[in-house]
Structure 1
Amino acid sequence: MREFVFTVEYDKGADEVMDLFIDNPDLHSKTMAVHATNESMWRLDRITGPTEVLEEFDAVVESVTLCNEVIGMCGAPVVEWNFETLSSTPNGRIVYSCREEGEGIQSIPYVAAKHIGDGLLMQAERRGNQYQWRLLIDDDDTVGEIYEEVDDGLSEGLSLSVQRISKPECWLEEGFDSDDLPPEQQAALEAAVEFGYYETP
């Protein structure tokens, strides 16, 4: 298996939800689970950040999901979007969402499902202006097909870059729940894990 890691970067004003991440560097979202077919996509996200920013996030997402003119990242219209907060703490949310998109080039989970099929495994993470995706793929030809379709279809104000195609890195959670940490401590903890501070010498 190979890990295909790529990032979609958003210009300010291109997406109302991503604007919140751009304006609030302490706001962070990571998928706990994400699944897709050619027809629909459903996912669980863990969102962390300052209390007041999360309250703004709640309001923006509720407004967006009720809008009839939402467009996916690759231009296909969103025809149905169900959203529910399953857990809420002062510094965290666990959010379930299910979405269907109409005709056109659809968002990344749909494109990946079309080219990979059964057994698709994905992760996604949002911080700042970056929306990073990780896919597990067993065929290098599929990487090119996914990249080309996503890159060709990205909406205005979005750009795509590839970080790596390599042996999979750790897909396991670190084994602790940091929802209740202040954003500054959580960022420091994530940085320590990323740079190997807790690894055995």
Structure 2
Amino acid sequence: MRELVFALEYEPGCNRVADTLADHPDARIRSLSLHVTAERLWRVDHATGEAAALVDIEDAFFTSDYYADCLATEDCGATQTTEILDHTDDTLVLYSYWERTPTCASVPHIARDHLGDGVLFETRHEGRHYTWRLIHSSEGNVAAFFNDLEAAVGDCARMEMLRTTDSTAPMGDTDGKASGLSPKQESALRAAVEHGYYESPRGVDVGELATHLGVPRSTLTYRLRRAEEQLAKRHVAGEQAIEGLSTLL
């Protein structure tokens, strides 16, 4: 099996869920989806955040003119059924069943066209950033998939390739490199250190650093957060491994 990991950063007004999450920076959505047939897709979304954020996320899913993941710029006539599986003060779990039309365009649909059946989609949605992890067989045309995806996304989002490798770890774990970071994450982290972002007091804030690097503030924030997550997990895993070894000695 192989994996593809990439991110989309939506422009304002292009994705209802992205706009909602941008209004609630502390909210997150993790999702798992799979094609049931060539025309039908099921999906489970697990959202976390404050109560007001979850109300807005629920509204975005239930009142949008078309499915939240659709890359079309207008209603493509797809049939979507969404149900609430759980809703507490800080958690919202949604189940969606989506039946496409010939004019539908989405990451799962384009992936199936080029990567074949049985592709598993794991996603993480934070603010305007949407990270996709696709698990698929080694067959299929990856280049054609990305070409069609880029054409479908158009001016609505910027696309960033993070990695393509053997599928050996869940999203957020390392990919076998020494640092576990993508080149852009490592570059962002290195620049943050060099410019005093982690000093106390800080030598530069995230906006100034983003301007220096020539990237949007939200993009830099996302890359730093993901890099910090990777390093923190590696540190904790290393400490646990040492503790486990100590008990055996």
Tell me, yes or no, whether TM beats 0.5.
yes
Output the CA distance in 2 between the equivalents of 1:164 and 1:69: 27
Q: Deviations over 1:35-77 (max 9, x none)?
A: 124312110111101111111222232211xx36989214571
Matches within 5 A, 1:155-194: 155-171=154-170, 191=229
2:234 is aligned to 196
The answer to whether the 8 Å contact 2:14/2:156 transfers is yes
Deviation at 1:172, TM superposition (A): 7.9
Letter in 1 for 2:166: K
1:44 is aligned to 44
Gaps of 5+ in 2: 174-224, 243-249
Output the CA distance in 2 between the equivalents of 1:192 and 1:72: 30
CA distance 1:131–1:82, change in 2 (3 Å):
same
The percentage of aligned residue pairs carrying the same residue is 23
Letter in 2 for 1:24: H
The answer to whether the 8 Å contact 1:14/1:156 transfers is no
1:90 is aligned to 89
Aligned to 1:118, what secondary structure does the other structure show?
coil
Coordinate RMSD, CA, aligned: 2.9
Output the CA distance in 2 between the equivalents of 1:194 and 1:133: 21
Matches within 5 A, 1:1-201: 1-31=1-31, 33-36=32-35, 37-64=37-64, 67=65, 72-75=70-73, 77-104=76-103, 106-139=105-138, 142-171=141-170, 191=229, 195-199=233-237, 200-201=241-242
Deviation at 1:140, TM superposition (A): 7.0
Letter in 2 for 1:119: G
Q: Deviations over 1:12-47 (max 9, x none)?
A: 11122210111211111111x311243121101111
Output the CA distance in 1 between the equivalents of 2:45 and 2:4: 20
Output the CA distance in 2 between the equivalents of 1:172 and 1:157: 24
The normalised TM-score by structure 2 is 0.65
The normalised TM-score by structure 1 is 0.79
Deviation at 1:141, TM superposition (A): 5.4
The answer to whether the 8 Å contact 1:78/1:99 transfers is no
CA distance 1:53–1:120, change in 2 (3 Å):
same
Gaps of 5+ in 1: 175-186
Structure richer in strand, relative to its length = 1
2:180 is aligned to none
Output the CA distance in 1 between the equivalents of 2:19 and 2:170: 27
Output the CA distance in 1 between the equivalents of 2:30 and 2:69: 21
